Amino acid sequence: MSPGQWVACGMTGLLIAASLTVYAGYRDALSIATEEIDTDAWGDRPAQVEGIHNILLLGGDNESEGKRPDVLVIVNINVDNGTATMVNLPRDLIVDIPQCDPVGEFPGWPGGLQQINHAATYGGLDCLGNTVETTTDIHLDHMVMVDFAGFENIVDTIGGVELCISKPLDDPKAHLSLDPGTQTLNGEEALALARSRQSTEHKNDMGRIKSQQRLIGAILRKVTSGETLSSPTTLYDFLGSVTDSMVTDDGFTVDKMAELAIAMREVDLSRINMVMVPVVNSQTHQYKVDPKQPAADELFAAVASGDVLPEEESGDKGEDEESAEPAVEPGDVSVRVLNGTGRTGLADTFQGLLENQGFTVAGVGNPGPRNPEQSTIYHGPGQEAAAQTLAAALDTVRTEEVPDFGEELELVMAADWKGLAGDGSAPTGGGGEGALAELGATSAAEDTVSCE
């Protein structure tokens, strides 16, 4: 089995442990805490698709003593095509939390709209699992909670992770202070980056998710580099750092972990992808977000059915179709976002969405001398292609050339503003197809930021 095959579902870590059933001594030594989950009480559940396994991975925050997760990820494992897709749900996502009965220390919930991670406060993993399944219509097979201390220990156990820090990062609240350049982060530094909002350009949960995805990719690359897997001592310490800080549903036994990992022998890092649910400003809760429709439901449906990645093509495309690529990549487009809609905070929120699509947002603000009635992208001479790349990602915008503009674009959102294109898509570097390519997903095989 190759190093890439060992990690099977990668991000969960526990599935790495599960694949070690060949190390019988390790298997017996691992100890995992569990929480009872009563899925029979969830009512009508989404159908379970053969060959598809969905695990809800949660990162518990320390302030709530692990009762309210800060990180929510659906890990979708397709054993038939050897892929793992990780779908981040922002903790600030407003959803309809179903009624949850009081149990033990949890007070229960009558049902209604609320921030998704609050479901765990109302009814533990049981209530949260029901909420995620109801929201996404994705059948959840198992649930796993890892606390922040466990994340820090994991990074330290593997000797740190290498990341490019493109600019100085400073966030006293998250205890984060990093100089620019490629460097190896220890557990404390990695945890600080994973928790920090203020160090991200848009200073919200979407920006933090982007940092978390980069860290997860770095961990997977380090674990599969050979150093961890080739050393029994390091391997055992790594497994201990994962399992010591983990709580799973009571049905996720070590045997089931092993069965799943063995079924995923053919996975490769390039087939482990990460994406965030597309969002818009919440209509009911200030400073929160709602799922962007229909793009969010389309992503959920693709994940539920196992159709997130396109099938391998037969090679019979025409020459023009094979060579078709965006004239300008989103990563080469720099834009300033100006809010002329009258809706407070819209530019800040949309900055995160654009950056999730790969664009560079140079800043946000209010319109100056250009305050059009229609949402408009202003560009300088020779920047038509860049403007068209941005326009292709948006719904109903016009473009206009300004003679004295440089390379930076200016997007002015007017009263007719409708956000991203209706399907949530944007041009991506590889010209790929499928739900992930349309939503700007990233692969665990390489970092999305380069210091070269």
User: Domain residues of the chain, as ranges?
Assistant: 3-150+218-305, 325-430
pLDDT in tens, 371-380: 998 999 999 9
Calpha distance 448→112 (Å, rounded): 37
What is the value of pTM for the model shown?
0.67
For residue 26, the model assigns a pLDDT of 43
- Please report, as a single letter, which amino acid is at residue 350: F
Please check whether residue 143 is in contact with residue 249, taking contact to mean a CB–CB distance below 8 angstroms: yes
Does 138 have pLDDT greater than 90?
yes
| Beta-sheet strands, E only, within 101-148 | 112-115, 142-147
Q: Which amino acid is at 435?
A: A
**Is 386 exposed, middle or buried (CB count within 10 Å of its CB: 0-12, 13-18, 19+)?**
buried
Q: Check residues 242 and 417 and name the one with the higher pLDDT.
A: 417
Residue 49 has φ and ψ, to the nearest 5°, of: -90, 130
CA distance 118 to 130: 12
Question: pLDDT per residue over 212-230, tens digit each?
Answer: 888 888 887 887 666 665 5
Kind plus residue range of the DSSP H or E element containing 254: helix 254-263
User: Residue 10: CB partners within 8 Å, gap ≥ 6?
Assistant: 16, 84, 86, 216, 220, 267, 269, 272, 444
Bigger pLDDT: 252 vs 275: 275
Q: Cis peptide leading into 369, omega within 30 of 0? A: no
Name the nearest CA neighbour of 442 among 283, 160, 218. Answer: 218
What percent of the chain stands above pLDDT 90? 33
Question: Quick one: how far is CA 428 from the chain centroid?
Answer: 17
Given pLDDT bands bounded at 50, 70 and 90, which one contains residue 319? very low
Q: Are 113 and 95 in contact (CB under 8 A)?
A: yes
For domain 325-430, the question of CATH label 3.40.50.10490 is answered with no
Q: What percent of the chain has pLDDT over 70?
A: 75
339-346 long-range Cβ contacts below 8 angstroms, 24+ apart: 339/364, 339/365, 339/366, 339/367, 339/413, 340/366, 340/367, 340/371, 340/372, 340/412, 340/413, 340/414, 340/415, 341/413, 341/414, 341/415, 341/417, 342/415, 343/281, 345/281, 345/287, 346/281, 346/413, 346/417
Q: What is the pLDDT of residues 148-187, one digit of tens each?
A: 777 788 888 888 999 999 899 999 988 999 999 999 999 9
DSSP classification of residue 336: E
**pLDDT tens digits along 64-119:** 565 788 889 998 888 777 788 889 999 999 999 999 999 889 999 999 999 999 99
3-150+218-305 CATH choice from 3.40.1280.10, 2.30.42.10, 3.30.420.590, 3.30.70.580? 3.30.420.590
How many Cβ atoms from other residues are within 10 Å of residue 285's Cβ?
Answer: 15
User: Which of 4-13, 26-35, 360-369 shows the lowest mean pLDDT across its residues?
Assistant: 4-13
pLDDT of residue 431: 32
Note whether 377 and 397 are within 8 A (CB). Answer: yes
In this structure, the chain runs to a length of 452
Please write the tens of the pLDDT for every residue from 263-303.
Answer: 555 567 777 888 899 888 888 998 899 999 888 998 999 89
* CA 83, 14, 118, 132 torsion-angle sign: positive
Q: Which pLDDT score is estimated for 426?
A: 35
Extract the tokens encoding 100: 């949850």
